[in-house]
Amino acid sequence: MPNANEQTNALSQVQDRAVNELLRVAPVADDLARRFREAGFSLALVGGSVRDALLGRLGNDLDFTTDARPQDVLKIVRPWADAVWEVGIAFGTVGAQKEARVGDVDRSFQIEVTTYRSEAYDRTSRKPEVAYGDSIQDDLVRRDFTVNAMAVALPEKEFIDPYGGLGDLAAGVLRTPGTPEDSFSDDPLRMMRAARFAAQLDFEVAPEVIAALREMAGRIGIVSAERVRDELNKLVLSACPRKGLTLLVDTGLADHVLPELPALRLESDEHHRHKDVYEHTLIVLEQAMALEDDGPDLTLRLAALLHDIGKPRTRRFESDGRVSFHHHEVVGAKMTKKRLTALKYSNELVKDVSRLVELHLRFHGYGTGEWTDSAVRRYVRDAGPLLSRLHKLTRSDCTTRNRRRAAALSGAYDGLEERIAKLQEQEELDAIRPDLDGNQIMEVLGVGPGPAVGQAYKHMLEVRLENGPMEHDAAVAALKEWWAGQQG
C-alpha cells in the first residue's frame, strides 16, 4: 500500500496532468461554457473526459453535463457547432462536432452534452428509464465508477469530486459512487463495464464490487445483446484483455455472455493430464496481440479467444491415458458462428472469425515440410484474404514450454511461409483461377451456359491447384479428358 507521501505525490501528478490537458482543450470548452452561462445554464466537463485528462490522455472526444434540458441544449449548440445530431436525445444527450484551432493545430472535436439525469432499469425492461435532475452531485452519483464521477465546472475550472474518484484514480482502483448493488441495479451493463475498465486502465476492482458482480451476474440478461457486444469489443481490444476476461469468468458474468470461455476450464486429474485450455487460450490471445502490426485487430483477437471452444464438446479419454479433441476446430467454428451471431456481430465478422477457427489446425498437417505444392496452394486458397491473420493465429497457438518443440514449430511455419511467398511470386496465388475461363470452357466443349460449365470450371480449378499453371493446350486436353469421362 502506498504511504501518505506517495499518495500525495501521485495526486499532485494527476492534477498537474489534468491542468495541462484542460488547457489544451480550453478554447473549445470555455467558449461553449460561456454560451451556456449567457443562456442561464451551467456546464461541466464530466466522466471519462475528466478521467482521461487526469491520466494525461484526453483526446478530441469531450463529454459535458448541464442543467439545461435537451431542447435548450439544441438552441445553444446549433448556432455554434459545425454539425449537430440528435440520436441520443431520448436519453438526454445532444451530439455535436466542432472544428477549432488549438495552438498551431486544427482539431475536430466530437462533443456530447447530456442533461443531469438518473437512470434505472425495471426488472423486465431492456431500456433505461430516464429522469432529469437539477444538481451535478445527483448526476455524478448515478455514474458507474468513482473515477468516472468527477467533473470540472466551466469556465471557472472548479474541480468537483464528491466520491473520491481522484484518490481511486491515483490508487488504480475501481469503486462505485454508491453501493455497487444500487449501481448495477440501475444499469446491469455496468457489470460488463467493470471488466472493460479493468482491462483498459489495468486497474484493480474493489472487493465489494467483485462481491456484487458475483451476486448479480444474472441481471446482465436483461441488457440487449448489442450493448453487451459493444462492451465486449472494448474489453477485447484493450491493452490488458486478460484482466477483464478473468474478471468475467471469476464472477460468473461470462456464464451469461460468453459461456464458451469458462467452459474451457476443463478439470484434470492425476490420470488424465492435459493442457489447461483456458490458460492456453489467454496466452494465445496475448501472443496474437504481440503480432499485430497495424493496431488492435478485433477479428484476430476474437479468433484467438474462441479458437479452442470446441474442445470441451470433443474431449475423449483414450485407452492409453491420452486426451484427444478430434475435429474440435470444426465443432468450434460452428459454436463460434452461433455465439457471435447471438451477440449481433456483423455477418462478415462472424464469417471471418469462424473461418479462422476452422482453419487454425490446418498447419499441423504440414509436419516437417512434406506438403506438396498442391497442398500449399490449397492452404492459401482456403485462407483467402484471411491468410495474414491465419499466419498470426497459427504462430500464436504454440504455447509449449518445450523450447525445442517451440523452435521446431516456428521453423516449420517459417518454411511454409517461405514456400507460400515463392509460389505467390511464381503463380499469383492470391488470385488462383483455372487456366481456362468460362467462355473458353464453353468454346472447347461446344456447350452454352448451364450447370455443366460450372462443374467444368470447378474441375479445372482443382487441376490448377493440383498441378500449378498449365499451358493452354495442356489445359484444353485436361478439360476434354474430364468431359469424355462425364459423357461415358
Alpha-carbon span 312 to 398, nearest angstrom: 19
Query: Which residues have C-beta within 8 Å of that of residue 156, sequence separation ≥ 6?
Result: none
Alpha-carbon span 248 to 265, nearest angstrom: 13
Predicted confidence (pLDDT) at residue 3 exceeds the cutoff of 60: no
C-alpha distance from residue 136 to each of 47, 67, 68, 160, 342 (Å): 12, 8, 11, 9, 38
pLDDT at 271: 39
Q: Stretch 112-119: mean pLDDT, rounded? A: 85
Alpha-carbon span 477 to 113, nearest angstrom: 72
CB 62 within 8 Å of CB 29:
yes
The three state secondary structure string of the chain is CCCHHHHHHHHHHHHHHHHHHHHHHHHHHHHHHHHHHHCCCCEEEECHHHHHHHCCCCCCEEEEEECCCHHHHHHHHCCCCCEEECCCHHHCEEEEEEEEEECCEEEEEEEEEEECEEEECCCCCCCCEEEECCCHHHHHHCCCCHHHCCEEEECCCEEECCCCHHHHHHHCEECCCCCHHHHHHHCCHHHHHHHHHHHHHCCEECHHHHHHHHHHHHHHHHCCHHHHHHHHHHHHCCCCHHHHHHHHHHHCCHHHHCCCCHHHCCCCECCECCCCHHHHHHHHHHHHHHCCCCCCCHHHHHHHHHCCCCHHHHCEECCCCCEECCCHHHHHHHHHHHHHHHCCCCHHHHHHHHHHHHHCCHHHHCCCCCCCHHHHHHHHHHHHHHHHHHHHHHHHCCCCCCHHHHHHHHHHHHHHHHHHHHHHHHHCHHHCCCCCCHHHHHHHHCCCCCHHHHHHHHHHHHHHHHHCCCCHHHHHHHHHHHHHHHHC
CB 291 within 8 Å of CB 388:
no
Predicted confidence (pLDDT) at residue 464 exceeds the cutoff of 60: yes
Q: Output 439 or 63, whichever has higher pLDDT.
A: 63
* Poorest-pLDDT segment among 37-41, 61-65, 348-352, 404-408: 404-408
Alpha-carbon span 30 to 51, nearest angstrom: 18
* Poorest-pLDDT segment among 234-238, 270-274, 278-282: 270-274
160-166-172 Cα angle (round to 5): 155
Predicted confidence (pLDDT) at residue 321 exceeds the cutoff of 80: no
Cis peptide before 451 (omega within 30 of 0): no
Q: Stretch 437-448: mean pLDDT, rounded? A: 78
Angle subtended by helix axes 373-383 and 451-467, to nearest 10: 130
pLDDT at 364: 78
Amino acid identity of residue 219, one-letter, is R
Alpha-carbon span 139 to 129, nearest angstrom: 14
* Phi, psi angles (nearest 5°) of residue 434: -60, 160
Burial 65-94 (b: 16+ CB within 10 A, else e): bbbbebebbbebbeeebeebeeeeeeebbb
Predicted confidence (pLDDT) at residue 438 exceeds the cutoff of 80: no
Alpha-carbon span 127 to 81, nearest angstrom: 29
Q: Stretch 379-387: mean pLDDT, rounded? A: 87
Task: Give the pLDDT band of residue 269 (cuts 50, 70, 90).
Answer: very low
Radius of gyration of the chain (CA): 29
CB 73 within 8 Å of CB 94:
yes
Q: Stretch 203-219: mean pLDDT, rounded? A: 97
431: cell is 488470385
Percent of the chain surpassing pLDDT 70: 87
pLDDT at 13: 65
Mind listing the pLDDT tens digit for each residue in 167-199? 999 899 999 999 999 899 888 999 999 999 999
Mean pLDDT computed over every residue of the chain: 85
Mind listing the pLDDT tens digit for each residue in 225-242? 999 999 999 999 999 999
The pTM assigned to this predicted structure is 0.80
Residue with cell 451530439: 95
326-328-334 Cα angle (round to 5): 140
**For 146, what's the count of Cα atoms within 13 Å in the CB-facing half-sphere?**
24
